[in-house]
Amino acid sequence: MIPQHASALLISDLHLTPSMPLTAQRFFDFCEKDASQVEAVFILGDLFEYWVGDDASAHSPFQQEVKRALASLSNKTKTYYIHGNRDFLVGPTFLKKTGMTALADPSLVDIAGQQYLLAHGDALCTADVGYQVFRTWVRKPWVQKIFLNLPLAWRRSIANQLRSNSHSQYQRNAMTSPGLNHIKTNVTLEACAAILRSHASNQLIHGHTHLPAHHQERLGEQTWQRWVLSDWDLDHPDGARPRANALLINAQGVQALDLIKA
């Protein structure tokens, strides 16, 4: 049975880390204030900048603070969680302590009488063949088991190296082939059409790409609507405009909220 709620807020790609305190504080305020206006909150992945195992959170005061905020949120509002590409190792121990309910990626939900297909979004970026191969491997249970059995310091080192390599590759591609880089880091129409068709849906919501928008799309005879959630960055280390958006869905429809102005 799919989750059913009269109203919901959806967020994604906060990439919470101690080095971005303003972004973290806006999330804490969101949990305490904004979420009380709806029946459910859906977090569509990449809540954390990275996650190397539930056991690591016990050694991180920052992650403990996030855990307390999530537990408080779950006590007031039904809270759901879809894994992202940065925090797909968030496990049952952390979920139990926060009171969040894990959803598969993708998942159908019913909000205010309308069905939406929710996903993180990285699996839809099928033009990036190399990433999809990497994603397939790191999602294998036996690979995850080996990684989680490594010493914590090793896991953190590996995660930091992967983040560094990913950022460097993105910067190189953006400079040398900006058009191709945009295609590779965005979802494809074919992937969206296929996933919607397999779930008999025509409304898709996802994050991951950091390209917030509302799209009316078509492929052949198939048509659908697609909403993309924004990432959050109030610390704007790259000089970009601060951003923190959420999607509000209720009886009035779908509305993008600018949480900077809220």
pLDDT number for residue 227: 98
Domain boundary assignment for the chain: 4-258
Q: Which amino acid is at 53?
A: G
d(CA 76, CA 242): 28
118-131 confidence digits (pLDDT tens): 999 999 999 999 99
pLDDT number for residue 106: 97
Binning pLDDT at 50, 70 and 90, where does residue 245 land? Answer: very high
Percentage of the chain lying above the pLDDT 90 cut: 83
d(CA 178, CA 170): 10
For residues 10-39, give the mean pLDDT.
Answer: 95
Average pLDDT, the chain: 91
Binning pLDDT at 50, 70 and 90, where does residue 1 land? Answer: confident
Binning pLDDT at 50, 70 and 90, where does residue 249 land? Answer: very high
Binning pLDDT at 50, 70 and 90, where does residue 163 land? Answer: confident
pLDDT number for residue 205: 98
Report helix angle 129-138 to 141-148, nearest 10: 70
At residue 115, φ and ψ (nearest 5 deg) are -95, 135
175-216 confidence digits (pLDDT tens): 555 555 556 779 999 999 999 999 999 999 999 999 999 999
With the CA atoms of 244, 10, 192 and 162 taken in that order, what torsion angle do they form, in degrees rounded to the nearest 10?
A: 60
To 5 degrees, how large is the angle CA 127–CA 16–CA 138? Answer: 40
Percentage of the chain lying above the pLDDT 70 cut: 92
Residues 6+ apart with CB under 8 A from 114: 203, 249
| Best CATH choice for the domain 4-258 from the list 3.40.50.2300, 3.40.50.300, 3.60.21.10, 3.40.50.150 | 3.60.21.10
Buried b (16+ CB within 10 A) or exposed e, 81-92: bbbbbbbbbbbe
pLDDT number for residue 175: 59
